[in-house]
Chains A and B, each alone.
Chain A
Amino acid sequence: MTVDTRIPAVSSLAQNQLPRATTPVLLVLSLAAGAGLSAALGFSWAWFAVFFIVLFAVVNTTVSGVVEGRRKATDKLVTTLVYTAFGLALIPLISVSWSVVDNGLERFGADFLTTSMRNVTGLNDQQAVDGEAEFIGGAYHALLGTFLITGLATLISVPIGLLTSIYLVEYGRGRLARAITFFVDVMTGIPSIVAGLFAAALFAVLFGVGTRNGFAGAVALSVLMIPVVVRSSEEMLRIVPNELREAAYALGVPKWRTIVRVVVPTAISGIASGVTLAIARVVGETAPLIVTAGFTSSINSNPFSEWMMSLPAYVYSQAMRPLSGSVPEPSFDRAWAAALTLVLIVMLLNLIARLIARLFSPKTGR
């Protein structure tokens, strides 16, 4: 009788472990070395980051590879890469947010939101920079235009989108429903500028070439908004439990009343938050408005005639065509302030969508 005394084979992962402190120590060492190397080249943050990350990745992987084996080394290398990717992506994202807030606050305020650009010229900007006159010129006309155009687009898109989603969920069987589903998918892929061209071409055919007004912009935006509304409402209607519908039918309620009084109210919080997100998506669309609603510096509260300014078009025109070629800074400041306004509107809409979804969701009782 023999007793097996062999030592069981141990996984390479379970032996030759580095002490836990290795990685942090190497991290600090590479930080110091990176700082030293970049200082030798004349310090810059970019070189510091490059040296630090490359050094750390190489040293950490090599040490781990020598002591712990190839598999653990690969794992550590990938971990470094993932953290680097994350850090790298943070740079533009933080910088976008920071530039908008920092530059935007320069001119953002009640004056900016309540005055238009009418009769504001490069001369005013010149005087403002020289300190001879007050800084004037705001984005009221653009804000008004954005509200009107987006509001009209919402008025067009929500009924069509909601009814279509009801058709798809409650009635649609067969070829028509499949065709609608497919083409709604196609519509989500339409580039925004093409939607703008469509509205421009439509109004050119109906009302003559060169027709530009707020309503054309609203039509362009609805082309972009309808598929989003259909998709989100459809998703919400589909998760309404069938038991609710069956209970209503069993009580003798007609189908249309079941939909209007039972199905839609159950899903209303999801639908409303989907619509809000769709508005947030189109409120910042620039390209379709440039080709349909045009630019103006005056207040225009009639979306059915004359050109109409919108916030995104305002940002674009102030940034690309400053009022004064020699002192563009006041125009750039206005562009940033309008960008801040736009971002605030989008964030507010997102927040509202989340609140709606949370506050008005049906109580499940569990």
Chain B
Amino acid sequence: MTTTANPPPRQATPAPRAKARPGDRIFSWSTRTAGVLILVVLAGVAAFLIVEALPTFQADPAEIDGGEGFFSYVWPLVFGTLAAAVIALIIATPLALGIALFISHYAPRRMAQGLGYVVDLLAAIPSVVYGLWGIQWLAPRVQGAWAWLADNLGFIPIFTGPASATGRTMLTAGVVLAVMILPIITAISREVFLQTPTLHEEAALALGATRWEMIRMAVIPFGRPGIISGIMLGLGRALGETMAVAMVLSTGGFTWSMVTSGNNTIAAEIALDFPESSGLKTNTLIAAGLVLFAITLAVNMFARWVVSRRKEFSGAN
């Protein structure tokens, strides 16, 4: 039996097939090219960063900033990045959920719409403006509070004194980041809270639930994947945010204390040092950028995974 023998025709007369017009071919080709171009760009981002980062790993460890190799250079920065983002999340999450609930379930209907619009606008304010506000308005005002923390809770490592006299500390940077991600988390949570089926809410109320019990039993379970993805989006923004930290924080070496000057984040380190860097320092900074890219990528993947895992139970589909 030969497979090469001419196969029997499946159809005596092939179905009339639309003639592929040149216009069609050109158009579909150009759309596909645009799509492929995006993949190429992303591959390019990864490739160029890796190529430019490689000299860091081949170089003599003594030549890297700090003199002990790349990893001892980068880990305090990773710590600072995570610390700032965690502070921001701890402050912003409860507040954002509170505002979202206020807009969706507590505020009078007419006021709620206007507030939603204002929150959207605040999410659009450029980060450099928040940085300017942080350094000129916030830092002098919170300095007293940090001094109080250092005096009274100084036994906790993160509040070890003496507090910075300028207020330009990690904790201040965290507060500025919190203000920046507040509108993002609020906008997404409000959106999912508003999508809760009215029937669920009314059923809970009809069974005698108070407003809070209704929210706890109908609104929150329904909105949980949305809340989580909002928080993760905020976390991703806080991790990659550059200007607020670069402007507000008075940078320095690693320290556990969040109320003295010191510490730095990857993004801020790059923004502060890259413009004047040359040679191996440039490569080191690009390698640090690669680390930041990997961290945010992991966070985003995790968020997507959580959302897709939760989707089937949420009733949102």
Task: State yes or no: do A and B come from one complex.
Answer: yes
Q: Is there an interface contact between A82 and B129, defined as CB atoms closer than 8 Å?
A: no
Q: Which residues of A contact B24 (CB under 8 A)?
A: 254-256
Interface residues of B (CB under 8 A from A): 21, 23-24, 26-28, 30-39, 41-42, 44-45, 48-49, 51-52, 94-99, 101-102, 106-107, 118, 120-122, 124-133, 135-138, 179, 182, 186, 208, 210-213, 215, 236, 239-243, 246-247, 267, 270-271, 274-275, 278, 282, 285-286, 289, 292-293, 296-297, 299-300, 304
A85-B95, A204-B52, A346-B125 known; A163-B242 Cβ under 8 A:
no
Q: Is A78 an interface residue (CB 8 A)?
A: yes
Q: Nearest B residue to A336 by beta-carbon distance?
A: B132
Q: Is A81 an interface residue (CB 8 A)?
A: yes
Q: Is there an interface contact between B38 and A180, defined as CB atoms closer than 8 Å?
A: yes
Interface residues of A in 158-185 (CB under 8 A from B): 159-164, 166-168, 170-172, 176-177, 179-180, 183-185
8 residue pairs, one from A and one from B, having the closest CB atoms: A284-B126, A85-B98, A191-B240, A163-B34, A256-B27, A167-B31, A287-B242, A189-B300
Q: Shortest beta-carbon distance, B28 to chain A, in Å?
A: 5
Interface size on A, as a range, is: 35 or more
- Contact check: which of A197, A291, A347 meets B49 at CB < 8 Å? A197
Q: Is there an interface contact between A167 and B34, defined as CB atoms closer than 8 Å?
A: yes
A95-B133, A186-B42, A346-B125 known; A163-B30 Cβ under 8 A:
yes
Q: Which residues of B contact A170 (CB under 8 A)?
A: 31
- Contact check: which of B28, B121, B211 meets A79 at CB < 8 Å? B211
Q: Is there an interface contact between B35 and A164, defined as CB atoms closer than 8 Å?
A: yes
Q: Shortest beta-carbon distance, B304 to chain A, in Å?
A: 7
Q: Is there an interface contact between B45 and A192, defined as CB atoms closer than 8 Å?
A: no
Q: Which residues of A contact B45 (CB under 8 A)?
A: 190, 194-195, 198, 223
In Å, the complex CA distance between A281 and B267 comes to 19
Q: Is there an interface contact between A75 and B270, defined as CB atoms closer than 8 Å?
A: no
Q: Is A210 an interface residue (CB 8 A)?
A: yes
Q: Which residues of A contact B211 (CB under 8 A)?
A: 75, 78-79
In Å, the complex CA distance between A233 and B110 comes to 30
Interface of chain A, helix or strand or loop or mixed? Answer: helix
Binary B-proximity of A285-326 (CB < 8 A = 1, otherwise 0): 111001100110000000000000000100110011000000
In Å, the complex CA distance between A89 and B92 comes to 9
Q: Is there an interface contact between A193 and B271, defined as CB atoms closer than 8 Å?
A: yes
Q: Is there an interface contact between A167 and B32, defined as CB atoms closer than 8 Å?
A: yes
- Contact check: which of B41, B95, B239 meets A191 at CB < 8 Å? B239
Interface residues of A in 14-63 (CB under 8 A from B): none
